Amino acid sequence: MPPAEAAPLLAVRELAVHIPDPPHLLRAVDGISFDLDRGETLGLVGESGSGKTMTAMALMRLLEPPLSRLPTGEVLLDGEDLMRLPEGAMAALRGHRLSMVFQEPMTSLNPVMRIGAQIAEPLRRHLGLFRAEAAARAEEMLRLVGLPDPARQARAWPHELSGGMRQRAMIAIALACRPALLIADEPTTALDVTVQAQILELLRELQRDMGTAVLLITHDLAVVEENAHRVAVMYAGRIVETGPVEAIFTAPRHPYTAGLLASLPRIREEPEPWLPEIPGMVPGAGDRPRGCAFAPRCTRVISGCVAEAPPLLGEPHAAACWNPLHD
């Protein structure tokens, strides 16, 4: 009898964040499901407003009241449902078993704490290290993330570091306790191309060394192509396509994914005068059409598209589309 497949590290089932806003119901995240294995990188992509960051905040249970009471569904980390944990138990997991790197490090770092103290804080809280040991480990983390003269950087204030250095410090904080899961929400958005490449290479190296699973949230498909094992494409609060990176990039099944890929700038023998674009806008969270949310912008729309939202079907390459490509 063949051995049973190992359970995924993270199993998200029908996660939803529906925000009452009379007379509307804002479907910020509208029932998404996905798995993430140990040591794997899953790229979560989509336009602004598709629900990526709200998904991350819901997974981490970081939504502020009254939004904090709204998420429904299951978020199983090693089989434990994070949605049903008391806040004290969840706080014990944040920064220990799961961590997050936020979009803008300057607003995420504490401006009145030195960098070393911010890295040492989770080490003392979660691992019970004494002050001197935590300080030494903080300097070691700064060395691991490639900051020169770690002892000096540990004594620095956040405003004394460049954008790339602050992002490295954020990664050091997030990985200090060697979490099983790292959520990286647009970790290179405000960085120039050279620093962006360095940060992404750093994440790959640390992931190989620590075996951490990474949920990489971005709007940049090129970043996902180079750094992820699998991709989940979000549109209007739902996952519309998911599968291995190579399958998604060579043979997308959902017209939205195909439109995103077509809009990527590429080197061509005869450059086009302009980049292709997807017409229209992502519908607002309170203004979703009855059927497929992409139907008003889609060139492959058929009658069924406006009647009912399609399910996400297919394994391992799934698409939520009544008239998919490459079928």
State how far Cα 242 lies from the chain centre: 14
Residues written for the chain: 327
Backbone angles phi, psi at 41, to 5 degrees: -115, 125
What is the pLDDT, as a whole number, of residue 268? 64
Q: Which of 189, 213, 228 is the last residue of a domain?
A: 228
Measured CA to CA, the distance from residue 325 to residue 171 in angstroms comes to 38
Domain total of the chain: 2
What is the pLDDT, as a whole number, of residue 222? 87
Average pLDDT of the chain is 90
Residue 240 in any domain: the answer is no
What is the pLDDT, as a whole number, of residue 4? 47
Same domain (yes/no): 114, 223:
yes
Same domain (yes/no): 223, 257:
no
DSSP 309: P
What is the pLDDT, as a whole number, of residue 197? 87
Same domain (yes/no): 167, 286:
no
Say if residue 5's pLDDT is above 70.
no
Say if residue 151's pLDDT is above 90.
yes
Same domain (yes/no): 222, 302:
no
Residue 135: CATH number of its domain? 3.40.50.300
Residue 274 in any domain: the answer is yes
200 or 192: which carries more pLDDT confidence? 200
Q: Which of 228, 260, 280 is the last residue of a domain?
A: 228
Name the pairing type of β-strands 24-36 and 10-21. antiparallel
Same domain (yes/no): 282, 202:
no
Measured CA to CA, the distance from residue 280 to residue 297 in angstroms comes to 6
Please report, rounded to a whole number, the percentage of residues in the chain having pLDDT higher than 90.
68
Same domain (yes/no): 195, 257:
no
Same domain (yes/no): 219, 80:
yes
Q: Which of 188, 213, 228 is the last residue of a domain?
A: 228
DSSP 120: H
Same domain (yes/no): 283, 217:
no
pLDDT in tens, 259-301: 999 887 776 666 666 677 888 888 888 888 889 999 999 999 9
Residue 239 in any domain: the answer is no
135 or 195: which carries more pLDDT confidence? 135
pLDDT in tens, 6-56: 789 999 999 999 998 888 889 999 999 999 999 999 999 998 889 999 999
Residue 273 domain boundaries: 252-327
pLDDT in tens, 48-105: 889 999 999 999 999 988 888 899 999 999 999 999 999 999 999 999 999 999 887 7
Helices (H), the chain: 52-59, 87-93, 105-108, 115-127, 131-144, 150-154, 163-175, 193-210, 221-227, 245-250, 255-262
Same domain (yes/no): 177, 318:
no
Same domain (yes/no): 93, 171:
yes
Q: Give the pLDDT mean for 228-252.
A: 96
Residue 106 in any domain: the answer is yes
Residue 236 in any domain: the answer is no
HSE, side-chain direction, 13 A CA sphere, residue 131: 1
What is the pLDDT, as a whole number, of residue 273? 64
Backbone angles phi, psi at 57, to 5 degrees: -65, -35
Residue 131 in any domain: the answer is yes
> % helix / strand / coil in the chain, to the nearest 5?
35, 20, 40
Say if residue 3's pLDDT is above 80.
no
Say if residue 1's pLDDT is above 50.
no
What is the pLDDT, as a whole number, of residue 106? 78
Same domain (yes/no): 201, 317:
no
Residue 247 in any domain: the answer is no
The burial class, CB within 10 Å (0-12 / 13-18 / 19+), for 111 is: exposed
Same domain (yes/no): 46, 80:
yes
Residue 263 in any domain: the answer is yes
